[in-house]
Copies of this chain bind each other. A is one copy, B any other.
Amino acid sequence: MIQRKVILIVLDGVGDRANRELDNKTPLQYAHTPNLDSIAKRSLVGLMDPIAPGIRAGSDTSHLNLLGYDPYKVYTGRGPFEAAGLDMELRPGDIAFRCNFSTVNEKLEVIDRRAGRIKKGTQELVKALDGMEIEDVKIFVKEGVEHRAALVLRGPGLSPYVSDVDPHAKGVRIHDAKALKPEAEKTARILNEFVHRSYEILKEHPVNKERESQGLLPANILLPRGAGMAPHMEDFEKKHGMKGACVVGTPLIRGICRMAGMDTIDFPGATGSYNTDMRGKFEHAVKALDTHDFVLVNIKAPDIAGHDMLPHKKVEVIERIDDAVGHLMEILPENVVVVITADHSTPCTMGDHSGDPVPILIYSDDARREGTEFNEIACAKGSLRIRGEDLMNVILNVTNRAEKFGA
């Protein structure tokens, strides 16, 4: 019996609801998708609740669940996965945050949460903060794209249960981090101390002096949010017996894959945005199959269209995906299973993630041929009616890799 390899394609937020602008169809129903529909006819199809019926999943909690990690156990906040996505080293127990370089005045009121979308210089700013020690806690900082950064606290007695310093609004004073549970007092104290020191250091930094001389907003403070504790996550290959890789543009999902011990395949065209190179992603995924058994491809664009509440834009994105999937099927090696699904629905009528189930398609040589079209309505007539937590078991089955329980 041949053990197959697998490409898992997550069309981020592609699930949707009926939309008046689309003749009361969903974007997947409305879009012209000859390639996806052709694959569906040779596939298992169905619906998947990313977590459970009605539960609104984040991209992070859903991807964890799809990869076989219980988000209720490993997820306390987004910070650690963002930090891992920036290639920071994390140890179980570390507390991590997403941060923005921001601009504040001397009263610590926010002028711009994104420091004028600063493009250059954050690497030098980070150097002035990284490695700081407060009490017995060591602090690490790393810059991301534009104004983005991540922060890691390492030391005894830390807790993820602290509120955001970032007030998520301008014109108001930054917030003091507050302990949301008694055991988080120390973490809140150290975090507040760090933020104040970051202001003292950054406001005098040559990069900011230079920006001010050019009439640009200074990146004079670092505002943390999304605290979370780095979990222990069993190695993906050990857990599932498949060497895993991912082709994803967004740091958050990339960080989840890194924390699972998967290899990350980066290339300039994978932007995590509307303009991402979809064909390129699939070409890199197929290449990765030479050295890996399992490749996750995440395409973020449909989620962005959902958040932007642009149904016609989402239809256009889906039709570009259909073209790229057609290309994938042309270059697909033998004995590779293709799974196409989503991490959650992002209805254009809502502008955010919903708890609606997502369509799923599983193509393999000997799949029961039960599909008709790839959309929420047609897939509901198929055999799959699973939860995210079942997905890896279903994949191990169709790739002929599952162990038998009993005789």
Residues of A within 8 A of B (CB): 1, 17-19, 24-26, 42, 47, 51-62, 71, 75, 78, 226, 252, 347, 349-357, 365-370, 376-377, 380-386, 390, 392-397, 400, 402-407
Known: A58-B405, A369-B18, A377-B368. A394 touches B1 (CB 8 A): no
Establish whether residues B18 and A367, one from each chain, have CB atoms under 8 Å apart when the complex forms: yes
Interface-centre pick from A25, A57, A385, A392 (highest chain B CB count, 10 A): A385
> What are 26 pairs between A and B in contact, CB < 8 Å?
A17-B366, A18-B369, A52-B393, A53-B390, A53-B393, A53-B394, A54-B393, A54-B394, A56-B402, A57-B405, A57-B406, A58-B404, A58-B406, A58-B407, A62-B406, A78-B406, A347-B366, A349-B365, A356-B397, A357-B383, A370-B377, A370-B380, A377-B383, A380-B381, A380-B383, A385-B385
Establish whether residues B24 and A54, one from each chain, have CB atoms under 8 Å apart when the complex forms: no
The copy count of this chain in the complex is: 2
Q: Is the interface of A mostly helix, strand, loop or mixed?
A: loop
Establish whether residues B377 and A252, one from each chain, have CB atoms under 8 Å apart when the complex forms: no
Q: Please name all residues of chain B whose beta carbon is closer than 8 Å to the beta carbon of A392 when the two chains form the complex.
A: 54
What CA separation (Å) do A19 and B365 show in the bound complex? Answer: 9
Residue of chain B at shortest CB distance from A376: B368
Residue of chain B at shortest CB distance from A397: B355
Known: A26-B368, A54-B393, A393-B52. A71 touches B406 (CB 8 A): yes
Q: Please name all residues of chain B whose beta carbon is closer than 8 Å to the beta carbon of A17 when the two chains form the complex.
A: 366-368
Establish whether residues B404 and A366, one from each chain, have CB atoms under 8 Å apart when the complex forms: no
Minimum Cβ distance to chain B for residue A18 (Å) = 5
Q: Please name all residues of chain B whose beta carbon is closer than 8 Å to the beta carbon of A395 when the two chains form the complex.
A: 54
What CA separation (Å) do A195 and B245 show in the bound complex? Answer: 48
Establish whether residues B367 and A53, one from each chain, have CB atoms under 8 Å apart when the complex forms: no
Residue of chain B at shortest CB distance from A396: B54
What CA separation (Å) do A385 and B384 show in the bound complex? Answer: 9
What CA separation (Å) do A390 and B53 show in the bound complex? Answer: 6
Establish whether residues A406 and B75, one from each chain, have CB atoms under 8 Å apart when the complex forms: yes
Q: Please name all residues of chain B whose beta carbon is closer than 8 Å to the beta carbon of A353 when the two chains form the complex.
A: 404
Residue of chain B at shortest CB distance from A384: B53
Residue of chain B at shortest CB distance from A379: B383
Establish whether residues A368 and B356, one from each chain, have CB atoms under 8 Å apart when the complex forms: yes
Q: Please name all residues of chain B whose beta carbon is closer than 8 Å to the beta carbon of A368 when the two chains form the complex.
A: 17-18, 26, 356, 376-377
Q: Please name all residues of chain B whose beta carbon is closer than 8 Å to the beta carbon of A354 when the two chains form the complex.
A: 397, 400, 402
CB-CB nearest 5 A-B residue pairs: A58-B406, A54-B393, A61-B406, A355-B397, A54-B394
Establish whether residues A405 and B71, one from each chain, have CB atoms under 8 Å apart when the complex forms: yes
